[in-house]
Amino acid sequence: MPEDQPMTECTIEGLLPAVKAYHEKGYRLVQISCTKVDENFELSYCFDIDYHMVVLRLVVPAGTKVPSISGIYWGAFIYENENHDFFGVEFTGINIDFKGTLLRTAKKYPFSNISFREVESCQKK
Amino acid sequence: MSKEVVIPFGPQHPVLPEPIHLDLVIEDEKVKQAIPSIGYVHRGLETLVEKREYPEYVYLAERICGICSFIHGATYCQGVEAVMNVEVPERALFLRTIWSEYSRLHSHLLWLGLAADGFGFENLFMDAWRLRESILDELEATTGGRVIQGSCKVGGVRRDIDSETLDEMVSRLEGLRGELSDLADVFLNDSSVKGRMKNVGILPAKEAYDYGAVGPTLRGSGVSSDARMIGYAAYGKIHFTPVTEDGCDCYSRCAVRAKEMFASIDIIKEAVQKIPDGPIEVKVTGKPEGEYFSRAEQPRGEVIHYVKGNGTRHLARHRVRTPTLTNIPPLVKMLEGCELADVPVIVLSIDPCIGCAER
Protein backbone atom coordinates (compact mmCIF):
# COMPACT_ATOMS: atom_id res chain seq x y z
CA MET A 1 0.00 0.00 0.00
CA PRO A 2 1.41 3.42 -0.94
CA GLU A 3 1.96 5.82 1.94
CA ASP A 4 -0.49 8.62 2.55
CA GLN A 5 1.50 11.79 1.87
CA PRO A 6 -0.66 14.84 2.57
CA MET A 7 0.41 17.90 0.65
CA THR A 8 -0.11 21.52 1.69
CA GLU A 9 0.46 24.42 -0.64
CA CYS A 10 2.04 27.54 0.77
CA THR A 11 2.96 31.02 -0.39
CA ILE A 12 6.43 32.48 -0.26
CA GLU A 13 5.43 34.58 2.77
CA GLY A 14 3.98 31.54 4.50
CA LEU A 15 7.01 29.30 3.92
CA LEU A 16 9.12 30.10 6.96
CA PRO A 17 6.21 30.11 9.47
CA ALA A 18 5.01 26.75 8.09
CA VAL A 19 8.50 25.20 8.26
CA LYS A 20 9.00 26.59 11.76
CA ALA A 21 5.73 24.98 12.84
CA TYR A 22 6.90 21.58 11.56
CA HIS A 23 10.22 22.02 13.35
CA GLU A 24 8.52 22.87 16.63
CA LYS A 25 6.35 19.76 16.34
CA GLY A 26 9.50 17.63 16.00
CA TYR A 27 9.37 16.83 12.30
CA ARG A 28 12.57 15.79 10.55
CA LEU A 29 13.45 17.46 7.24
CA VAL A 30 13.48 14.62 4.71
CA GLN A 31 14.41 16.54 1.58
CA ILE A 32 13.79 19.55 -0.64
CA SER A 33 13.28 18.94 -4.34
CA CYS A 34 12.56 21.11 -7.33
CA THR A 35 10.69 20.54 -10.58
CA LYS A 36 10.61 23.01 -13.43
CA VAL A 37 7.01 23.37 -14.58
CA ASP A 38 6.74 25.76 -17.53
CA GLU A 39 8.30 28.96 -16.24
CA ASN A 40 7.79 28.11 -12.57
CA PHE A 41 9.79 26.26 -9.98
CA GLU A 42 7.79 23.76 -7.97
CA LEU A 43 9.58 23.23 -4.67
CA SER A 44 8.62 20.32 -2.41
CA TYR A 45 9.67 20.37 1.23
CA CYS A 46 9.17 16.92 2.80
CA PHE A 47 9.00 16.35 6.55
CA ASP A 48 8.58 13.18 8.54
CA ILE A 49 7.58 12.24 12.04
CA ASP A 50 7.02 8.68 13.22
CA TYR A 51 7.11 7.42 9.60
CA HIS A 52 4.37 9.84 8.46
CA MET A 53 5.54 12.09 5.67
CA VAL A 54 3.99 15.43 4.80
CA VAL A 55 4.81 17.65 1.85
CA LEU A 56 4.86 21.43 1.74
CA ARG A 57 4.57 22.71 -1.82
CA LEU A 58 5.75 26.12 -2.95
CA VAL A 59 5.34 27.23 -6.56
CA VAL A 60 7.23 30.36 -7.60
CA PRO A 61 8.08 31.95 -10.94
CA ALA A 62 11.68 31.35 -12.06
CA GLY A 63 13.89 34.15 -10.78
CA THR A 64 12.01 34.55 -7.49
CA LYS A 65 14.19 34.78 -4.40
CA VAL A 66 13.16 32.05 -1.96
CA PRO A 67 13.98 32.43 1.74
CA SER A 68 16.31 29.73 3.02
CA ILE A 69 15.01 27.43 5.73
CA SER A 70 18.57 26.63 6.89
CA GLY A 71 18.04 28.94 9.88
CA ILE A 72 15.39 26.47 11.06
CA TYR A 73 16.77 23.18 9.71
CA TRP A 74 20.56 23.59 9.70
CA GLY A 75 21.12 20.71 7.25
CA ALA A 76 18.84 22.26 4.62
CA PHE A 77 21.84 24.00 3.06
CA ILE A 78 22.75 20.85 1.15
CA TYR A 79 19.38 20.75 -0.67
CA GLU A 80 19.20 24.50 -1.23
CA ASN A 81 22.69 24.62 -2.73
CA GLU A 82 21.85 21.57 -4.84
CA ASN A 83 18.64 23.14 -6.17
CA HIS A 84 20.52 26.34 -6.89
CA ASP A 85 23.26 24.51 -8.79
CA PHE A 86 20.89 22.30 -10.79
CA PHE A 87 18.00 24.66 -11.45
CA GLY A 88 19.19 28.16 -10.63
CA VAL A 89 16.71 28.63 -7.78
CA GLU A 90 17.87 31.63 -5.77
CA PHE A 91 17.77 31.11 -2.01
CA THR A 92 18.42 34.02 0.33
CA GLY A 93 20.13 33.67 3.70
CA ILE A 94 21.60 30.14 3.36
CA ASN A 95 23.79 29.37 6.37
CA ILE A 96 26.48 27.79 4.17
CA ASP A 97 26.17 29.32 0.70
CA PHE A 98 28.44 27.67 -1.85
CA LYS A 99 27.46 30.28 -4.46
CA GLY A 100 27.22 27.70 -7.21
CA THR A 101 30.25 25.58 -6.33
CA LEU A 102 28.71 22.64 -4.42
CA LEU A 103 28.08 20.65 -7.60
CA ARG A 104 30.55 21.73 -10.22
CA THR A 105 28.76 20.83 -13.43
CA ALA A 106 30.10 21.60 -16.89
CA LYS A 107 26.85 23.31 -17.79
CA LYS A 108 25.35 25.99 -15.57
CA TYR A 109 21.94 25.07 -14.12
CA PRO A 110 21.70 21.84 -16.18
CA PHE A 111 18.13 21.03 -15.12
CA SER A 112 16.65 24.43 -15.85
CA ASN A 113 16.30 24.20 -19.60
CA ILE A 114 13.85 22.63 -21.98
CA SER A 115 13.49 18.91 -22.01
CA PHE A 116 15.40 16.57 -24.29
CA ARG A 117 12.11 15.58 -25.87
CA GLU A 118 11.74 18.91 -27.58
CA VAL A 119 15.16 18.85 -29.17
CA GLU A 120 15.93 15.26 -29.98
CA SER A 121 14.49 13.38 -32.86
CA CYS A 122 14.82 9.93 -31.24
CA GLN A 123 11.63 10.53 -29.28
CA LYS A 124 9.64 11.04 -32.48
CA LYS A 125 10.36 7.49 -33.63
CA MET B 1 50.16 31.47 18.62
CA SER B 2 48.76 28.86 16.26
CA LYS B 3 47.80 29.73 12.73
CA GLU B 4 44.85 28.55 10.65
CA VAL B 5 45.69 26.61 7.52
CA VAL B 6 43.46 24.95 4.95
CA ILE B 7 44.27 21.36 4.04
CA PRO B 8 42.55 19.90 0.99
CA PHE B 9 41.20 16.39 1.65
CA GLY B 10 40.29 14.52 -1.52
CA PRO B 11 38.93 14.20 -4.13
CA GLN B 12 41.61 11.50 -4.40
CA HIS B 13 42.47 9.95 -1.05
CA PRO B 14 43.41 6.38 -0.02
CA VAL B 15 40.24 5.96 2.08
CA LEU B 16 37.92 7.33 -0.57
CA PRO B 17 36.73 4.85 -3.19
CA GLU B 18 34.88 7.76 -4.80
CA PRO B 19 35.69 11.44 -5.09
CA ILE B 20 34.56 14.03 -2.58
CA HIS B 21 36.54 17.10 -1.65
CA LEU B 22 36.75 18.66 1.80
CA ASP B 23 38.54 21.87 2.62
CA LEU B 24 39.69 21.32 6.20
CA VAL B 25 40.37 24.50 8.13
CA ILE B 26 42.99 23.39 10.65
CA GLU B 27 44.41 25.01 13.76
CA ASP B 28 47.29 22.97 15.14
CA GLU B 29 45.99 19.41 14.65
CA LYS B 30 42.30 20.26 15.21
CA VAL B 31 39.75 20.67 12.44
CA LYS B 32 37.92 23.94 12.95
CA GLN B 33 35.68 23.69 9.91
CA ALA B 34 35.10 21.29 7.02
CA ILE B 35 33.71 22.61 3.75
CA PRO B 36 32.55 19.87 1.36
CA SER B 37 32.28 20.06 -2.39
CA ILE B 38 31.03 17.41 -4.76
CA GLY B 39 30.31 17.26 -8.47
CA TYR B 40 33.16 15.08 -9.69
CA VAL B 41 30.93 12.19 -10.76
CA HIS B 42 27.63 13.90 -11.57
CA ARG B 43 26.05 12.06 -14.49
CA GLY B 44 22.71 13.80 -14.92
CA LEU B 45 20.83 10.50 -14.57
CA GLU B 46 17.67 12.25 -13.40
CA THR B 47 17.28 14.14 -16.66
CA LEU B 48 17.53 10.90 -18.64
CA VAL B 49 14.02 10.14 -17.46
CA GLU B 50 12.95 12.38 -20.31
CA LYS B 51 14.76 10.19 -22.84
CA ARG B 52 13.63 6.78 -21.65
CA GLU B 53 10.10 5.54 -21.20
CA TYR B 54 9.16 4.76 -17.62
CA PRO B 55 9.48 0.92 -17.88
CA GLU B 56 12.95 1.23 -19.47
CA TYR B 57 14.16 3.74 -16.90
CA VAL B 58 14.42 0.97 -14.27
CA TYR B 59 17.75 0.01 -15.85
CA LEU B 60 19.04 3.54 -15.33
CA ALA B 61 17.66 3.78 -11.79
CA GLU B 62 19.61 0.63 -10.95
CA ARG B 63 22.79 2.21 -12.28
CA ILE B 64 22.64 5.12 -9.85
CA CYS B 65 24.77 2.98 -7.56
CA GLY B 66 26.80 -0.18 -7.96
CA ILE B 67 26.24 -1.32 -4.38
CA CYS B 68 22.59 -0.70 -3.59
CA SER B 69 21.53 -0.99 -7.23
CA PHE B 70 18.69 -3.40 -6.56
CA ILE B 71 17.09 -1.14 -3.94
CA HIS B 72 17.31 1.86 -6.28
CA GLY B 73 15.48 -0.09 -8.97
CA ALA B 74 12.88 -1.42 -6.54
CA THR B 75 12.22 2.01 -4.99
CA TYR B 76 11.79 3.59 -8.42
CA CYS B 77 9.38 0.81 -9.44
CA GLN B 78 7.49 1.26 -6.17
CA GLY B 79 7.08 4.97 -6.99
CA VAL B 80 5.75 4.37 -10.49
CA GLU B 81 3.44 1.61 -9.21
CA ALA B 82 2.03 4.00 -6.59
CA VAL B 83 1.35 6.67 -9.21
CA MET B 84 -0.32 4.13 -11.53
CA ASN B 85 -2.21 2.27 -8.77
CA VAL B 86 -0.60 -1.01 -9.72
CA GLU B 87 -1.16 -3.84 -7.30
CA VAL B 88 2.05 -5.85 -7.26
CA PRO B 89 1.70 -9.59 -6.55
CA GLU B 90 2.67 -10.49 -3.01
CA ARG B 91 5.28 -13.01 -4.08
CA ALA B 92 7.11 -10.28 -5.98
CA LEU B 93 7.08 -8.07 -2.89
CA PHE B 94 8.64 -10.86 -0.84
CA LEU B 95 11.28 -11.47 -3.50
CA ARG B 96 12.10 -7.74 -3.54
CA THR B 97 12.48 -7.89 0.25
CA ILE B 98 14.81 -10.90 0.08
CA TRP B 99 17.03 -9.33 -2.59
CA SER B 100 17.04 -6.01 -0.72
CA GLU B 101 18.36 -7.74 2.38
CA TYR B 102 21.02 -9.56 0.38
CA SER B 103 22.02 -6.13 -0.96
CA ARG B 104 22.25 -4.81 2.60
CA LEU B 105 24.36 -7.78 3.65
CA HIS B 106 26.91 -7.35 0.90
CA SER B 107 26.95 -3.57 1.31
CA HIS B 108 27.64 -3.80 5.05
CA LEU B 109 30.37 -6.38 4.43
CA LEU B 110 31.86 -4.08 1.83
CA TRP B 111 31.82 -1.20 4.30
CA LEU B 112 33.27 -3.27 7.13
CA GLY B 113 36.12 -4.25 4.83
CA LEU B 114 36.70 -0.65 3.76
CA ALA B 115 36.64 0.50 7.39
CA ALA B 116 39.20 -2.16 8.33
CA ASP B 117 41.34 -1.08 5.38
CA GLY B 118 40.92 2.56 6.46
CA PHE B 119 42.37 1.96 9.89
CA GLY B 120 45.04 -0.43 8.62
CA PHE B 121 43.66 -3.84 9.63
CA GLU B 122 44.29 -5.58 6.32
CA ASN B 123 43.45 -9.14 7.37
CA LEU B 124 40.07 -8.01 8.60
CA PHE B 125 39.47 -6.20 5.32
CA MET B 126 40.22 -9.37 3.34
CA ASP B 127 38.06 -11.51 5.60
CA ALA B 128 35.05 -9.19 5.24
CA TRP B 129 35.37 -9.16 1.48
CA ARG B 130 35.86 -12.91 1.34
CA LEU B 131 32.50 -13.36 3.08
CA ARG B 132 30.92 -10.75 0.83
CA GLU B 133 31.72 -12.92 -2.18
CA SER B 134 29.35 -15.63 -1.00
CA ILE B 135 26.51 -13.08 -0.80
CA LEU B 136 27.31 -11.82 -4.30
CA ASP B 137 27.28 -15.42 -5.51
CA GLU B 138 23.71 -15.80 -4.21
CA LEU B 139 22.65 -12.60 -5.94
CA GLU B 140 24.24 -13.74 -9.17
CA ALA B 141 22.68 -17.19 -8.97
CA THR B 142 19.17 -15.85 -8.35
CA THR B 143 19.11 -12.68 -10.44
CA GLY B 144 21.82 -13.21 -13.03
CA GLY B 145 23.84 -10.19 -11.94
CA ARG B 146 26.44 -9.65 -9.25
CA VAL B 147 26.46 -5.86 -9.29
CA ILE B 148 23.50 -4.78 -11.38
CA GLN B 149 20.76 -7.32 -10.83
CA GLY B 150 18.16 -6.19 -13.36
CA SER B 151 15.54 -8.39 -11.72
CA CYS B 152 13.04 -5.70 -10.76
CA LYS B 153 10.46 -4.25 -13.11
CA VAL B 154 7.41 -2.02 -12.88
CA GLY B 155 4.66 -4.41 -11.84
CA GLY B 156 6.79 -7.03 -10.09
CA VAL B 157 10.03 -8.91 -10.67
CA ARG B 158 11.51 -10.65 -13.69
CA ARG B 159 12.69 -13.83 -12.01
CA ASP B 160 11.25 -16.23 -9.49
CA ILE B 161 13.18 -18.36 -7.01
CA ASP B 162 11.79 -21.84 -6.45
CA SER B 163 11.12 -23.00 -2.91
CA GLU B 164 13.93 -25.56 -2.92
CA THR B 165 16.48 -22.88 -3.83
CA LEU B 166 15.04 -20.54 -1.20
CA ASP B 167 15.52 -23.22 1.46
CA GLU B 168 19.08 -23.81 0.29
CA MET B 169 19.78 -20.08 0.47
CA VAL B 170 18.57 -19.97 4.06
CA SER B 171 20.65 -22.99 4.93
CA ARG B 172 23.77 -21.39 3.41
CA LEU B 173 23.04 -18.17 5.31
CA GLU B 174 22.78 -20.14 8.54
CA GLY B 175 26.16 -21.67 7.72
CA LEU B 176 27.55 -18.20 7.12
CA ARG B 177 26.18 -16.88 10.42
CA GLY B 178 29.07 -18.39 12.40
CA GLU B 179 31.70 -16.81 10.17
CA LEU B 180 29.90 -13.46 10.27
CA SER B 181 29.74 -13.76 14.03
CA ASP B 182 33.53 -14.24 14.21
CA LEU B 183 33.99 -11.23 11.94
CA ALA B 184 31.59 -9.04 13.94
CA ASP B 185 33.32 -10.13 17.13
CA VAL B 186 36.57 -8.53 15.94
CA PHE B 187 34.81 -5.29 14.97
CA LEU B 188 32.95 -5.15 18.26
CA ASN B 189 35.63 -6.29 20.69
CA ASP B 190 39.12 -5.88 19.27
CA SER B 191 41.10 -3.26 21.17
CA SER B 192 42.73 -1.78 18.06
CA VAL B 193 39.32 -1.29 16.40
CA LYS B 194 37.95 0.30 19.56
CA GLY B 195 41.05 2.45 19.93
CA ARG B 196 40.57 3.81 16.41
CA MET B 197 36.80 4.38 16.53
CA LYS B 198 35.60 4.90 20.10
CA ASN B 199 34.82 8.51 20.99
CA VAL B 200 35.73 9.60 17.47
CA GLY B 201 33.31 11.57 15.30
CA ILE B 202 30.76 12.31 18.00
CA LEU B 203 27.23 13.06 16.76
CA PRO B 204 24.72 13.41 19.63
CA ALA B 205 21.20 12.08 19.04
CA LYS B 206 19.50 15.47 18.86
CA GLU B 207 22.03 16.82 16.40
CA ALA B 208 21.83 13.67 14.28
CA TYR B 209 18.05 14.06 14.04
CA ASP B 210 18.07 17.84 13.53
CA TYR B 211 20.81 17.79 10.89
CA GLY B 212 19.00 15.16 8.83
CA ALA B 213 21.12 12.04 9.41
CA VAL B 214 19.65 8.74 8.22
CA GLY B 215 20.48 5.04 8.39
CA PRO B 216 23.30 3.69 10.56
CA THR B 217 24.58 7.29 10.97
CA LEU B 218 21.32 8.15 12.76
CA ARG B 219 20.82 4.80 14.51
CA GLY B 220 24.43 4.91 15.75
CA SER B 221 23.35 7.98 17.71
CA GLY B 222 20.61 6.01 19.43
CA VAL B 223 17.67 7.19 17.28
CA SER B 224 15.43 4.32 16.24
CA SER B 225 14.51 5.30 12.71
CA ASP B 226 14.41 2.85 9.84
CA ALA B 227 12.30 3.27 6.68
CA ARG B 228 11.61 -0.48 6.66
CA MET B 229 9.24 0.18 9.56
CA ILE B 230 6.91 1.94 7.07
CA GLY B 231 6.09 -1.56 5.86
CA TYR B 232 6.82 -1.19 2.14
CA ALA B 233 7.38 -4.33 0.03
CA ALA B 234 6.90 -7.25 2.46
CA TYR B 235 8.42 -5.56 5.52
CA GLY B 236 4.97 -4.97 6.98
CA LYS B 237 4.53 -8.74 7.29
CA ILE B 238 7.89 -9.42 8.88
CA HIS B 239 8.85 -8.96 12.50
CA PHE B 240 11.69 -6.51 12.65
CA THR B 241 13.23 -4.09 15.15
CA PRO B 242 15.74 -1.42 14.08
CA VAL B 243 19.26 -1.91 15.43
CA THR B 244 20.44 1.08 17.46
CA GLU B 245 23.59 1.94 19.42
CA ASP B 246 23.86 4.94 21.68
CA GLY B 247 27.60 5.68 21.64
CA CYS B 248 27.10 8.43 19.01
CA ASP B 249 30.61 7.75 17.64
CA CYS B 250 32.26 5.92 14.73
CA TYR B 251 32.34 2.70 16.76
CA SER B 252 28.55 2.81 17.27
CA ARG B 253 27.93 3.35 13.58
CA CYS B 254 30.22 0.39 12.87
CA ALA B 255 28.41 -1.72 15.50
CA VAL B 256 25.01 -0.93 13.94
CA ARG B 257 26.22 -2.23 10.57
CA ALA B 258 27.82 -5.31 12.11
CA LYS B 259 24.61 -6.20 13.98
CA GLU B 260 22.33 -5.37 11.05
CA MET B 261 23.89 -8.23 9.10
CA PHE B 262 22.24 -10.68 11.51
CA ALA B 263 18.95 -8.76 11.37
CA SER B 264 19.08 -9.13 7.57
CA ILE B 265 19.60 -12.90 7.85
CA ASP B 266 16.58 -13.10 10.18
CA ILE B 267 14.46 -11.06 7.77
CA ILE B 268 15.44 -13.27 4.82
CA LYS B 269 14.68 -16.38 6.87
CA GLU B 270 11.24 -15.12 7.87
CA ALA B 271 10.49 -13.92 4.34
CA VAL B 272 11.33 -17.37 2.97
CA GLN B 273 9.00 -18.96 5.52
CA LYS B 274 6.14 -16.59 4.66
CA ILE B 275 6.54 -16.13 0.89
CA PRO B 276 3.24 -17.05 -0.78
CA ASP B 277 2.85 -18.89 -4.06
CA GLY B 278 1.50 -16.99 -7.02
CA PRO B 279 2.46 -14.76 -9.92
CA ILE B 280 5.55 -12.58 -9.80
CA GLU B 281 4.35 -9.75 -11.99
CA VAL B 282 1.32 -8.02 -13.42
CA LYS B 283 1.12 -6.45 -16.84
CA VAL B 284 1.34 -2.70 -16.57
CA THR B 285 -0.17 -0.57 -19.29
CA GLY B 286 -1.00 3.09 -19.46
CA LYS B 287 0.77 6.32 -18.80
CA PRO B 288 1.62 7.54 -15.31
CA GLU B 289 -0.05 10.72 -14.15
CA GLY B 290 0.46 12.03 -10.65
CA GLU B 291 3.33 12.11 -8.20
CA TYR B 292 4.71 10.09 -5.31
CA PHE B 293 7.65 10.20 -2.95
CA SER B 294 8.72 6.56 -2.83
CA ARG B 295 11.02 5.69 0.02
CA ALA B 296 12.98 2.69 1.19
CA GLU B 297 15.82 1.83 3.55
CA GLN B 298 19.09 1.38 1.76
CA PRO B 299 22.20 0.09 3.56
CA ARG B 300 23.23 3.72 4.06
CA GLY B 301 19.79 4.92 5.12
CA GLU B 302 16.51 6.20 3.79
CA VAL B 303 16.36 6.86 0.05
CA ILE B 304 13.65 8.88 -1.71
CA HIS B 305 12.68 8.40 -5.34
CA TYR B 306 10.30 11.17 -6.34
CA VAL B 307 8.41 10.37 -9.52
CA LYS B 308 6.07 12.71 -11.30
CA GLY B 309 4.10 11.57 -14.31
CA ASN B 310 2.48 13.89 -16.83
CA GLY B 311 0.25 11.45 -18.69
CA THR B 312 2.91 10.40 -21.21
CA ARG B 313 5.26 7.40 -21.36
CA HIS B 314 8.05 9.69 -20.12
CA LEU B 315 8.06 10.94 -16.56
CA ALA B 316 8.14 14.68 -16.07
CA ARG B 317 10.54 14.38 -13.17
CA HIS B 318 12.50 11.80 -11.30
CA ARG B 319 14.47 13.01 -8.33
CA VAL B 320 16.55 10.83 -6.04
CA ARG B 321 17.50 11.94 -2.56
CA THR B 322 20.18 9.51 -1.52
CA PRO B 323 21.25 8.82 2.06
CA THR B 324 24.80 10.05 1.49
CA LEU B 325 23.55 13.47 0.37
CA THR B 326 21.57 13.97 3.55
CA ASN B 327 24.40 12.59 5.70
CA ILE B 328 26.80 15.29 4.46
CA PRO B 329 25.55 18.05 6.86
CA PRO B 330 25.94 15.71 9.90
CA LEU B 331 29.40 14.77 8.59
CA VAL B 332 30.37 18.45 8.50
CA LYS B 333 29.31 18.74 12.16
CA MET B 334 31.14 15.54 13.17
CA LEU B 335 34.37 16.85 11.69
CA GLU B 336 34.28 20.14 13.61
CA GLY B 337 36.74 19.89 16.48
CA CYS B 338 38.14 16.47 15.57
CA GLU B 339 41.81 15.56 15.20
CA LEU B 340 43.17 15.74 11.66
CA ALA B 341 44.30 12.10 11.87
CA ASP B 342 40.69 11.01 12.59
CA VAL B 343 39.21 12.64 9.48
CA PRO B 344 39.51 9.53 7.24
CA VAL B 345 37.76 7.28 9.79
CA ILE B 346 34.98 9.83 10.40
CA VAL B 347 34.38 10.31 6.67
CA LEU B 348 34.22 6.53 6.24
CA SER B 349 31.82 6.18 9.16
CA ILE B 350 28.88 7.60 7.17
CA ASP B 351 29.60 4.99 4.46
CA PRO B 352 29.80 7.64 1.76
CA CYS B 353 28.56 6.67 -1.68
CA ILE B 354 29.34 9.65 -3.84
CA GLY B 355 28.17 8.09 -7.11
CA CYS B 356 24.77 7.74 -5.44
CA ALA B 357 24.79 11.24 -3.98
CA GLU B 358 25.54 12.93 -7.28
CA ARG B 359 23.52 10.71 -9.62
Predicted local distance difference test score (pLDDT) of residue B341: 87
Q: Does domain B39-358 have CATH number 1.10.645.10?
A: yes
Q: Does residue A40 belong to the interface with chain B, where contact is any CB pair within 8 Å?
A: no
Asked if A100 and A112 touch (Cβ cutoff 8 Å), the reply is no
- How close is the nearest chain B Cα to the Cα of A12, in Å? 22
Tell me the chain A residues in contact with residue B217 when contact means C-beta distances shorter than 8 Å: none
Cα–Cα distance for residue pair B217/B254, rounded to 1 Å: 9
Answer whether B59 touches A (CB < 8 Å): no
CA distance B40 to chain A (A): 7
Chain A residues within 8 A of B308 when measuring between CB atoms: 35
Question: Is residue B230 within 8 angstroms of chain A, CB to CB?
Answer: yes
CB distance B287 to B311 below 8 Å: yes
Asked if A109 reaches chain B (Cβ–Cβ under 8 Å), the answer is no
Give buried/exposed letters for B3-28 (b at 16+ CB in 10 A, else e).
eeeeeebbbebebbebbbbbebbbee
Tens-binned pLDDT, residue by residue, of chain B (359 aa):
578 888 888 788 877 777 888 888 988 888 888 888 777 777 777 777 777 888 888 898 888 888 888 999 999 999 999 999 999 999 999 999 999 999 999 999 999 998 888 888 888 899 999 999 999 999 999 988 888 888 899 999 999 999 899 999 999 999 999 999 999 999 999 988 888 888 888 999 999 998 989 999 999 999 998 999 998 989 999 998 999 999 899 999 999 999 999 999 999 999 999 999 989 998 888 888 889 999 999 999 999 999 998 888 888 888 999 998 899 889 988 998 888 888 888 988 888 877 777 77
Distance CA B52, CA B74 (A): 17
SS3 A20: helix
Low-confidence residues in chain A, pLDDT < 50: 116-119, 121-125
Does A5 sit within 8 Å of B329, measured CB to CB? no
Cα B260 → chain centroid: 12
Chain B residues 112-171 with a CB less than 8 Å from chain A: none
HEC states along B282-293? CCCCCCCEEEEE
For B269-307, what is each residue's pLDDT tens digit?
999 999 999 899 988 888 888 899 999 999 999 999 999
Q: Do B161 and B142 form a contact (C-beta atoms < 8 A)? A: yes
Q: Which of B22, B35, B38 to mutate to test the interface with A (most CBs of A within 10 A)?
A: B38
Task: Say what the pLDDT of residue A125 is.
Answer: 42
Q: Which of B53, B88, B235, B293 to mutate to test the interface with A (most CBs of A within 10 A)?
A: B293
d(CA B201, CA B215): 16
Q: Which domains does chain A have, with CATH numbers?
A: 7-114 (3.30.460.80)
Residues from chain A that touch B225, judged by Cβ atoms under 8 A, are 28
Q: Do A33 and B319 touch (CB under 8 A)?
A: yes
Query: Which amino acid is it at A70?
Result: S
Evaluate whether ipTM surpasses 0.90.
no
Phi-psi domain of B212 (left: phi exceeds 0; alpha: psi -120 through 50; beta: other) = left
Query: Minimal Cα–Cα distance from A13 to chain B, Å?
Result: 24
